[in-house]
Structure 1
Amino acid sequence: MVSNLLFSKIDNSQIIVFRIFFGLLMAVECWGSIGTGWVKETFVDPDFTFSFIGFEWTWFMLGDFMYYFYGFLGVLGIMIMLGAFYRVSTILFALGWSLVYFMQKEHYNNHYYLVMLVAWFMVFIPANRYKAVDVWFWPKIRSKTTYFWNQLLFILQLLIVYTYAAIAKLYPGWMNGDFLMTRYRDVAYWADQYIAWEPLTEYIQTREFAQIISWLGFGFDLLIVPLLLWKPTRLIAFLGALVFHIFNSVTLHIGIFPYFALALAVFCFPPETIRQIFFPRKSTFLAGSGEFQARHPHQISFTLFFCAYILWQIYLPLRHWQIPGDVLWTEEGHRLSWRMMLRTKSASTQFYLVEKGSDKRERIQLKDYLTDLQSSRVKARPDMIWQFAQYVKKQKAKEGKDVEIYVSSRVSINGGPYHPFIDDKIDIAAENWRYFGHQRWILPEPTDYNKLEKVRP
C-alpha cells in the first residue's frame, strides 16, 4: 500500500545534511542580495513592483524596510542551518520567501519558485532531530530515522523540474542554438578579455558550439535524475552534474541554483551512503530492526495530500495547452512551469494615453513611472503591460482624469525579426485580466519566429 511505503522508516542523514546546505545557501542568497544591490534595484528604488496579479497589496513594504527584511531572512537561514528553533525558523522563512517571491516579477526566476516549494517542504520535514541546536535543548527529540516520504518528495520534485525543463526545450529556437548564441556573446567577450585565445573566442560564438551545448542541456535535464538514482551510473552522473552546474554558474550567472541543485542531489543517494560520508560515527539504522514501525495516525490523509500535491505539480506545466496560442509568445502558462532559460525577448513598445473626451494621443514616458530594469521588462511581457496600464490609469484618476491606454508593440524572439505583438486598437486599461484564459489583445504568434511576415490587416 502506498501509505505504508511513504511511512516506512529510513536513516535521516539526508534531511540533516540538506538542512545544513539549505540554510547556508539561503543566508548567502539573502545577504548577497543586499550586498550586490539586488534588493535596492528590486524593492528599494521602485515606486511599485510588478507583483503577481493580486499581490499589489505588498507594495506597502517597498523601500528601506526591505533591507531589514532580507537581513532577517538571512538570519533565519543560519538558524535553519543550525537547527535552532527549527519549526519557527522554517515557518517564518517560508512565509517571508513566499512573500518576496510574489512581490515582484522583474527578476522572475524558476529557481526562486523551487526555493519557495522546498522552504515549505522543510516546514513539515523533521530535519532538526540530529546535529541540531534543538537537540541540545530538547534531547528527547533526537532520532536517527525519518519517514521515506521525506526522501521521495524531493526526488519526485526534482524529476518533475528536470523533465519539464527538458520537454520545454523541444522547440527550434533551443535545439538549433538560437537562444544560446545570444547568451554566449557575453561569454565570448569575457573569454576574449581574460583568456585572449582567438580560436576559443571565435568558436564560442559559432552556431555549432551553441547547438552542442543546447543538446547537452536537453540531455542533461532529461536524464540526470534517473542516472543519479541508478547505482551503476550514480557517481558518473553526479560528477557530470558537478561539471554542468559549475559551468552554468560561471557562464550564465544564475545565482545559487547550481549549488542548490547539487545540494538536492543528496536525496538521489541511498541514505546509508550519505550517513557514511557525512556522519561516519552515527550508528547504522537497519530496516526491520524493531523501529519498523507503528502506523502513523494521519497516514491515510497525508498520503492523499501527498498524491494531490504531486498531481498538481504535474498539471501546472501542462496548463498552457488549455490556452490558445504559443506559450513562448503569449507567456500565458509560462510561470510555475519549469520553462527555464529558453528564450530571449526584445521589444519595441510604446504606451499611449488618451483622455476621454479628447482625441489627443499622448505618449507615456516610461522613465516617469519605472526604473530602467522595469522599463526593459514591461515591453515584452503581456501581464506587465496590463499591470502598467492599470497603474497609470489609477495614477491619472488621482489627478481627476479618466484615461484610455493603448499599446503599440513589436517583439523579437531569440534575436529574430520583430513581429506585431499587441492590438493597438484596444484600450488595455479597460480590459479585465483573464487568469486562466487568453488575453484577446495579444496578437497571434507568427508562423516562423525567424522570418518577417506581412503585417496583418
Structure 2
Amino acid sequence: MNRLCSWAFRPVDIAPLVFFRIFFGVMMAYHIWSMKRDHWVQYFYIDPEFHFSYPGWSWIHPWPGDGMHLHFTVLLVAALGISLGLFYRLSTLTFFLGYSFVFLLEKSLYQNHCYLICLISGIMFCIPAHRACSLDQLIWRRPATQVLPQWTLWLLKLQIAIPYFYGGLAKLNYDWLFTQPIGMWIGRRAEVPVLGPLMSTDWAPWFFAYGGLLFDLLIVPALLWRRTRLAAYLVSVGFHLTNHILWDIGIFPWFMIGATLIFFPPEYFRKLAHLPRLNINAQTLSPRSRWTQPLTVCLLLLYVSWQLIFPFRHLLYPGNVSWNEEGHHFAWHMMLREKDVGIRFYAYDPVSRQRGLIKVEEFLNSRQLSRMGKDPDMVLEFIHHVRDHYRERRNTELEIYVLNIASLNGRKPQLLMDPRVNYAAIDRVWTHQPWVIPLEEPLRKESWNVPLDRWESVLNLDIPPEMQLVRAR
C-alpha cells in the first residue's frame, strides 16, 4: 500500500489535464448542441410513449412537459462550465448525472462512445483540472496549481486506452477473423469519396479486418512508448478519419483524435500554450491526512478492477454474444455484428379466442424498430409494455407470441426466439434466457442475400400452425 500510494501521489504536471478539460467541455457542448439542432430531444425522448431500458433501470422516465428540453439546455451550460473551469465541480457533477440519465433513458440509442462519455465525465468530477487556466481560479483569486497527483493523469489514460484494447480483444472471434461483418459493409461503400474505389478490391476486407484488429491491440502500447508515440498518433488520426468517412458514428472519431493526445508528455502541452517547462522535481503536493491516500488508492483499485473485469461478463452466458446479446453492452464490442431481422408479434385472447397481429409501429419509432428485434431482452420488454397496455385500457390478459427470424453476419436466417413461448408470462431476468434459440447456422462464404419478404417461403422453419395461418391470410 505504501508503494502504491507513493506512485499514485507522485507529482505530475497539470498541463495535460487542463488541455483535456477544455477539449472535453468543448466537444460535449458541440455534442449536446447537435442533438438539440437535429431534434433528437423531441423525437427520441419526448414523442415516444415507451422507452427501452437497461435491466434494473426501468424506473428512469423522461421529464414531463418541456423538461427534457430544459434538461439538455442545462447539459449544454454544464459542458461550457467544464471547458471554462467555471463552477467546475458543480458543472462536472451536473453533466455526469444529467448525461448518464439521458444515456440510461433509451437503450435503443446505445453507443459505446456515449458510455465512454458517462465514464469520463464521472472521472472529470474527481480530477481537480480547474486549478489552472480556469475562471474559478480567477473568480476566487486562487494561485494556479502546477501539479496534481499522478493517478489523475493515469486514470484518464487508462479510460481512453480500454475502448481501444478491449475493442481489439472483442475482434478475436471467428466471424471477424474471416472478415465479417466488415467485408459486407465495405462492399457497400463503393460510392464513398476518396476511399470508394478501394472498397471493391478483393484484399480490402482482409486489410480492414486485420488492420483494425492490430490497430486496436497495439495502438496503446505504441502510444506509451516514446519512440513510437508520434507515428502511432498519426496512424490513430488516419484510422479515425477513415472511420468518419466510412461510417456514421457521430462525434466518436473526433473525440478520440483529441482525447488520444493525453498520451503525450506534459511538455508538449506547455509548448503548445507557449508556457515555460515545469521542473517537476521542484514541485510538491500539499500533505494529506494519513487515511486519505490509502482510501483513494483503494477506491481507484475498485474502479479499475470493475473496468477491467466487467466487459468479460458475456463469458458467463452460454452461446454467441453477438447472437443472444447477453453481455453485449458495456463491453466495448464495436462493429462486430450485422443482424438482419424479420419479426412479428401474435396476440391471443384466451377469453374471446381471438387472434391477431400487433401493429408494432403504433408503439415504437424508427430507431426503436430497427434495434428491438436484434435484442431478445428488448423484445421481451416491449411485449411486457404491450401486455400492460391492453391490460390497463381493455382489461384484457393477452398471450403474446413472437416469430423472430434473424441472420447474423450474412448467415442463413434461423429462429432467434422460441415461437411457442407466451412471452407475456415470462419475467425479465439477469440470467440466461433459455427461450433464446442457440445459433446453429455456420458462417457462409457468400452472404445470404434473399430478400426478407421471401425468407419464410424458402426456409424450412419450425413455425407453429397458428402463425402459419395468420401468415397465409
Q: CA RMSD in A?
A: 2.1
Could you say which residue in structure 1 is the equivalent of 2:220? 225
Could you say which residue in structure 1 is the equivalent of 2:305? 311
CA contact (8 A) 1:158 1:225 kept: no
The code of the aligned residue for 2:254 comes to Y
> Which of 287, 294, 300 pairs up with 2:287?
294
CA contact (8 A) 2:410 2:443 kept: no
CA contact (8 A) 1:183 1:252 kept: no
CA contact (8 A) 1:26 1:77 kept: yes
The code of the aligned residue for 2:9 comes to F
Could you say which residue in structure 1 is the equivalent of 2:248? 253
Could you say which residue in structure 2 is the equivalent of 1:181? 183
**Larger deviation: 144-153 or 55-64?**
55-64
Aligned-pair distance for 1:414?
Answer: 2.0
Evaluate the alpha carbon distance shift between residue 41 and residue 282 of structure 1 in structure 2; reply closer, same or farther with a 3 A threshold.
farther
SS at match of 2:12: strand
The code of the aligned residue for 2:424 comes to A
> Are 1:368 and 2:362 counterparts?
yes
- Matched residues in 2 for 1:61 and 1:448: separation? 46
Could you say which residue in structure 1 is the equivalent of 2:139? 137
- Matched residues in 2 for 1:115 and 1:13: separation? 21
Aligned-pair distance for 1:108?
Answer: 0.9
The code of the aligned residue for 1:46 comes to P
Evaluate the alpha carbon distance shift between residue 60 and residue 44 of structure 1 in structure 2; reply closer, same or farther with a 3 A threshold.
closer
> Are 1:445 and 2:439 counterparts?
yes
Aligned-pair distance for 1:207?
Answer: 4.8
Could you say which residue in structure 2 is the equivalent of 1:407? 402
Could you say which residue in structure 1 is the equivalent of 2:332? 338
Evaluate the alpha carbon distance shift between residue 186 and residue 78 of structure 1 in structure 2; reply closer, same or farther with a 3 A threshold.
farther
CA contact (8 A) 2:21 2:129 kept: yes
> Which of 258, 263, 285 pairs up with 2:258?
263
Could you say which residue in structure 2 is the equivalent of 1:386? 380
Give a deviation string over 1:388-410, Cα, whole Å, max 9, x none.
01100110111201112111111
Evaluate the alpha carbon distance shift between residue 449 and residue 77 of structure 1 in structure 2; reply closer, same or farther with a 3 A threshold.
same
Could you say which residue in structure 1 is the equivalent of 2:349? 355
The code of the aligned residue for 2:79 comes to G
Evaluate the alpha carbon distance shift between residue 134 and residue 442 of structure 1 in structure 2; reply closer, same or farther with a 3 A threshold.
same
CA contact (8 A) 2:381 2:428 kept: no
The code of the aligned residue for 1:113 comes to Y
- Matched residues in 1 for 2:57 and 2:318: separation? 26
- Matched residues in 2 for 1:350 and 1:401: separation? 20
Identity %: 33
> Are 1:431 and 2:433 counterparts?
no
Aligned-pair distance for 1:40?
Answer: 3.1
CA contact (8 A) 1:46 1:370 kept: yes
Give a deviation string over 1:199-230, Cα, whole Å, max 9, x none.
x7454134521221111111110011110110
Aligned-pair distance for 1:170?
Answer: 1.4
CA contact (8 A) 2:11 2:283 kept: no
Aligned-pair distance for 1:43?
Answer: 1.3
Q: Superposition pairs for residues 59-70 of structure 1, below 5 Å?
A: 59-61=61-63, 64-70=66-72
Could you say which residue in structure 2 is the equivalent of 1:44? 46
Could you say which residue in structure 2 is the equivalent of 1:147? 149
Q: TM-score, normalised by structure 2?
A: 0.89
> Are 1:2 and 2:4 counterparts?
yes
- Matched residues in 1 for 2:245 and 2:73: separation? 26
- Unaligned 5+ segments in structure 1 are none
Q: TM-score, normalised by structure 1?
A: 0.92
Aligned length, in residue pairs? 447
Aligned-pair distance for 1:71?
Answer: 2.4
Could you say which residue in structure 1 is the equivalent of 2:320? 326
Evaluate the alpha carbon distance shift between residue 360 and residue 270 of structure 1 in structure 2; reply closer, same or farther with a 3 A threshold.
same
SS at match of 2:76: helix
- Matched residues in 1 for 2:196 and 2:164: separation? 30
Give a deviation string over 1:368-407, Cα, whole Å, max 9, x none.
1111221221111111101101100110111201112111
The code of the aligned residue for 2:410 comes to G
Could you say which residue in structure 2 is the equivalent of 1:235? 230
- Matched residues in 2 for 1:106 and 1:256: separation? 18
Evaluate the alpha carbon distance shift between residue 201 and residue 240 of structure 1 in structure 2; reply closer, same or farther with a 3 A threshold.
closer
- Matched residues in 1 for 2:183 and 2:377: separation? 27
Give a deviation string over 1:27-48, Cα, whole Å, max 9, x none.
0000101112333331133112
- Matched residues in 2 for 1:21 and 1:146: separation? 19
Evaluate the alpha carbon distance shift between residue 166 and residue 245 of structure 1 in structure 2; reply closer, same or farther with a 3 A threshold.
same
Evaluate the alpha carbon distance shift between residue 296 and residue 246 of structure 1 in structure 2; reply closer, same or farther with a 3 A threshold.
farther
Could you say which residue in structure 1 is the equivalent of 2:15? 13
**Larger deviation: 23-32 or 314-323?**
314-323
